[in-house]
Structure formats: C-alpha cells, structure tokens
Chain A
Amino acid sequence: MTKGILVCAETADGKITATTRELLHAGRDLADAAGSALAALVTGKNPQEAAAEAITLGADTVYTVDAPSFVESTPDYYASLLVMTCRKTEPAVVIFGQTDLGRDVAPLLAARSGGVACMDCVRVAIDTQTRALLQTRPVYGGNAMAVWSSGEEVLRVVALRPRSYAAAEPDATRQGEIVALDPPDSDESPRMELLETRKEDIQGVKIEDARIVVSGGGGIGGPDGFKLLEELARVAGGASGAVAATRVPCDEGWVSHGIEVGQTGTIITPDLYIAVGISGAVQHMVGCADSKVIVAINRDPDAHIFQEADFGIVGDYRQAVPALTGAIKSIKGA
C-alpha cells in the first residue's frame, strides 16, 4: 500500500477550522490521484469530536493526540509532536495550512525528518507518472507563479495558503478509523516557554468570514476616514460586513494590524470587496484577488487598482463613499 497523505488539522472551540476543511479537500484530491489514503492529525484537549468531524470531511484515518492546543504550547513542542506522528504513520506528504502553526512547524518537521518543505502554496498535485508532488506558489510578491516538483524519495511537507481550495463538504455517512497516539514526552530542558497569548478583541465578524468587506488604503489619510468605511460596511453588509485595510493604514497606526489584507496580512475572498483609496499593489491584491466582485474607488484615474476591479469610480472617497452608502440604503429600504 502506498504511503498516505497526512493533513495537520487545526481546531477552534473543538471544531475543525475553515482552513483545515480546505486542506482536507486538497488532501482528498491528492490521495485519490495517488491511490492512497488520507489521514488527519487532530490535537487539543478531547480531540475525539473533531476527529469524527474530520472523517465526515474526507479523512480515512484520524490520529488524535490529547495535548495542549498550538496557541497554548510552543513551536518546539508541536514540532516534536509532528515528528513523532510522522515517525509512527510514515506519510508521503504532510499538508499544513499557511497559518501560525504551519509557518512554525512545517520547516522544522521537514528539517528533522530529512524532508523538503514548500511554503505558501496555492495548488498541490501529484504527477501520476513520477509520483512527484507538484507545488504551485506565487513568488515575487505575486508577480509570478512558480511550480516546484519534489520527488517521492523524501517526505514532502507543504503549507497551503488559506482560501486556495474550497472547503470540504461534510458527508455524515463516511466511515473512518480513529487512532489515539500518545503525546510526546514533555521536554526536560525546554528552550522556550510561552508566557502569554494576547488576542485582540474583534467586534463583529472577522474579515476572513465577512461577505462584504470595505477596505481602506493610504488614500483614507487618517483614522477618521475609516468611520465612513465602517458606515458603508454596516449598511451594505449588516452583520457580515467588515472593514479591512492595506498595510499603509496599519503601519500608520490608523487601524490595527489585525485587519491588514495581503501577502503578509490575511487572505480573504468575500462576495464583495470595496477598495477605497487603494493603489492596487500586488502584495495587497494577492490578499483579495479572488473576491467575487471588486469595486475600486480612487481619485486617480490611472491607479492600478482599476485594472484589478470589476467596477470603478474615479473620485474623492469623502464624497463617493457616503454617496454609495446612501444609495445602497435607499435601494435596500425600497
């Protein structure tokens, strides 16, 4: 039997996360193409429920480790956990999300298992002839797409960019096996210790979960302008409307870094992305380019963003945004 595909699952409140559902989708496709099985690793306190969910989402086998979750432990601990799991389960490919966990652990796992890692991929496929893993990833900030091939002689570790795959749909009739593994021995002489995890208070929906995102750039000019954007997001999107930003407002301190969209920010794919006072730099656009509809409001008719949008208005946002808010209000009210 060929070695299988292992997805490193993440959970939130005991449920499989949206990103992990995407990984299970990608993993299922790979396993089917390779004629092998799909396994998932679920960790955390009482992982059984999430393990069962992973089976409905496509896993054939789920390994569980009753251990602290990633945010409660250290990268070192999770690297040992993954190394141990791979030693026991001998996968051909391990799939992470390009998340905090994936960014930390994928490279360490590859290094410690003599494997090869490929980060921030948007597509993975198996070359059915050579059984090499083909990994597609944006490079040069999104100015080019690269495909890397890694042969099956070593463990292949990939991290998949969130929103690159549709989430796997649950199928309650699926059958699978759940295998509990022992957690790794806790480290006698730890090299690092987690002192504190601070989570920002987010009011309303997270930008990655919002259906309508109104995003502001350097053109907003200060924190006050964002109030107009909030109003638009609320009127157009209600509870599923959110405000995001480019790097400029975050670096300037007008808004929190948590709402940055782009290569180093969050990748989002809302139904509607309204880009206000945004020039359309690649590093930003890679974070929102797969939105269903993109609207650009910019006072510079030559702004690059207009080449990336479906609808454009040239004008000062201070007039355009309230006008749009008003127009949507009256349409919705009617």
Chain B
Amino acid sequence: MNIVVCVKQILDPNLPPAKFKVDSKARQIIPPEGIPLVMNPYDAQAVEMALRLKEKNGGKITAVSLGGPEAVSAVKYALSLGADEGVALSDEAFFGSDSLAVAHILGRAIRKIGAYDLVLCGRQAADWDEGLTGPLLAEELGIPVVNLVRDIENVGGDWRFTRVISGGEQVFAVFLPALATITNEAPQTRLPTGWGIISANRKQIPVWNGGDIDVDPTRIGSAAAVRKLTALTAPERKRNCEMISKETVAEAAGTLARRLGETGAFL
C-alpha cells in the first residue's frame, strides 16, 4: 500500500513557557535562538502509524512537508525513521497561506506523487493547534476522512479505522483511498536509527515549487487568505499562590484543609 504522510516542522511544544516570546506588534512568536525545530509530535505518530502499516502490509511511505528550509529537515527526519521517500514544498508564493491554501498545495503535491491508498496527517500541528488541514486536504483530494485515529487495521481485506471519541471509541470501515488524522493515543514514536539518519542524510530531498505541482496561484499565499490574524498576545497569569509551609506535611495539610473549608470548596 502507498502511504503519504504530511509532516510539519515546528517550534518544540515542550519548551518552557518562557521560551515562547510573543511579538504582539509583528503578531508572531519569536523562536528562541539556538533551539532546533522538531517534527510536530502528532505527525511523528503519523509516521509511526505508516511504518507499522508498511511492516504488516508492505508498500511505500512518502513524506511531504510544506515550509521554508525547515521542510527539508522534517522530510529528512521522516526518512530517518524509515519513510522511503520524501519531498519538500517550498516557494515564496506559499508564504502566508492559510489552512485551505496549505491543503490545496499539499493536495496538488500528492497528485503529483501519484497513486496512494492512504494519506496520514497529525490531529493538529502543535504550533497553531487548529486541526483543519487534514479534513480540508481530504476534501481537496475528494477522499473520506476519519479524525483522531489511533489504529488502522486490515481485517480480511477491509480497512478498519479506530478513532477516539469523548468517553470511548468508534470503529469505521473505510474505503480507500482515505485520509486519517492521527491522535496522541496512537502508538508512541520510535527513535531514528544510526543508519536511518545516515541514509536520510545521503538522500537529496527534492524541493517542489508552485509551478512544479501546478497549484492555482489565486488560491494560495496571504492574498488568498480570508481569515486574517489581527492580534497575538501573551496569555495573562491570574493566580497568586499562597504557599502553606509548616513544620510537617501533616500540619500543612491541616491548614490547607481549613483554608479550603473557608472558601466553601468542599462543604
């Protein structure tokens, strides 16, 4: 089976809050110097899902990433984990694209890549945290989409997607080609191997621009974006912590219980 995985390189979401500098004037996050970007963790889980599917069913995995120079790093990382091929999509005209435009560009690239059975995305990119691209891409490609998928299995020739819902899960039979957005409850990601990193580094990653994949120039870039970012601010912190320090933890707990009792919290 041929699987395309969409991967995005982002600011490490595990960085401490102090590292996220909000430039309200320019309406952007200033990345801290000297800290490498990482693959969106959900996309890494999508790669993991692809690898497991390939191990069971055979086939080929192609990683696609849209962005500046970091897109090449994302593709390389996917290759180092075991993806077979990859392509980076970079073009100044892509700059400022919204989710709809990103989906259009990814869709055109996937058409060029050729026949596919499955497209995998992360449940959301942990920078802008929107979770729109996957479903929009499915629409662009005209294929069905299942969100928050944690498992994909072949049962007697039928493809079953298990996805997480509030308080439980659902199993769908899905006709391929289809798209799945992968959730954090899916299997955790493996680490790249030594040879994986080396062979990923040996590969020349093709970089396609808008012309290479025949995008519609009126549908991309900031000019095409209907939604505009009008403000970006740092969140406010609201609380002032009263530290309850006493000789013993038991005394502190007693004081805390009394203080909470006064607030009416548990009465």
Contacts and interface: CB of A to CB of B under 8 A. Distances in A.
Interface of A: 71, 74-76, 99-100, 103-104, 107-108, 110-112, 116-120, 134-135, 137-151, 153-154, 191-200, 202, 206, 212, 236-237, 247, 251, 257-258, 263-264, 266, 271-272, 281-283, 289, 292-296, 304, 306-316, 319-320, 323-324, 326-328, 331-332
Contact of B226 (A150, A200, A294): A150
Given A111-B140, A264-B183, 18 more contacts: A107-B135, A111-B139, A120-B129, A140-B20, A142-B235, A143-B29, A147-B229, A191-B174, A197-B169, A198-B171, A200-B168, A206-B167, A310-B242, A311-B242, A311-B259, A315-B252, A326-B253, A332-B267
B244 A312 contact: yes
Contacts of B208: none
Interface stretch (B69-77, B111-119, B143-151, B199-207): B143-151
Contacts of A71: 165, 170
Contact of A327 (B167, B173, B241, B253): B253
Nearest to A70: B165
Interface string B78-96: 0000000000000000000
B167 A202 contact: yes
Nearest to B148: A103
Interface of B: 11, 13-14, 16-17, 20, 22, 29, 98-100, 123, 126-132, 134-136, 139-140, 143-148, 160-161, 164-175, 178, 183-185, 188, 226-235, 237-245, 249-250, 252-254, 256-261, 263, 265-267
Contact of B249 (A192, A271, A311, A320): A320
Given A191-B144, A195-B160, A327-B253, A116 B227 contact: yes
Interface of A is mostly: mixed
Contacts of A104: 135, 147
8 contacts: A107-B132, A107-B136, A146-B128, A251-B188, A271-B265, A272-B260, A311-B241, A319-B249
B167 A199 contact: yes
Contacts of B178: 191-192
Contacts of A309: 239, 241
Contact of B185 (A141, A257, A312): A257
B188 to A, nearest CB: 7
A103 B146 CA distance: 10
B147 A323 contact: no
Given A319-B250, A328-B257, A138 B235 contact: yes
A258 B168 contact: yes
Sorted nearest first, the 8 A-B pairs with minimum C-beta distance are A323-B253, A327-B257, A107-B135, A191-B144, A143-B20, A199-B168, A111-B139, A147-B231
A327 B257 CA distance: 6
Given A144-B29, A192-B173, A293 B260 contact: yes
B17 A143 contact: yes
A272 B265 contact: yes
A219 B30 CA distance: 32
A196 B171 contact: yes
Contacts of A266: 166
Given A145-B232, A192-B174, A200 B243 contact: no
Contact of B227 (A138, A148, A195): A148
A144 B232 contact: yes
Contacts of A99: 166
A264 B123 contact: yes
Contact of A147 (B147, B230, B259): B230
A210 B119 CA distance: 39
Given A145-B233, A314-B243, A295 B256 contact: yes
A142 to B, nearest CB: 6
A76 B144 contact: yes
A311 B260 contact: yes
B44 to A, nearest CB: 14
A146 B168 CA distance: 31
A142 B235 CA distance: 7
A4 B267 CA distance: 44
A293 B139 contact: no
A149 B228 contact: yes
Contact of B241 (A139, A281, A296): A296
Given A191-B143, A192-B174, A200-B168, A312 B265 contact: no
A289 B235 CA distance: 11
A292 B260 CA distance: 12
Contact of A154 (B99, B226, B230): B226
B233 A144 contact: yes
Nearest to B22: A144
B227 A134 contact: no
A110 B20 CA distance: 31
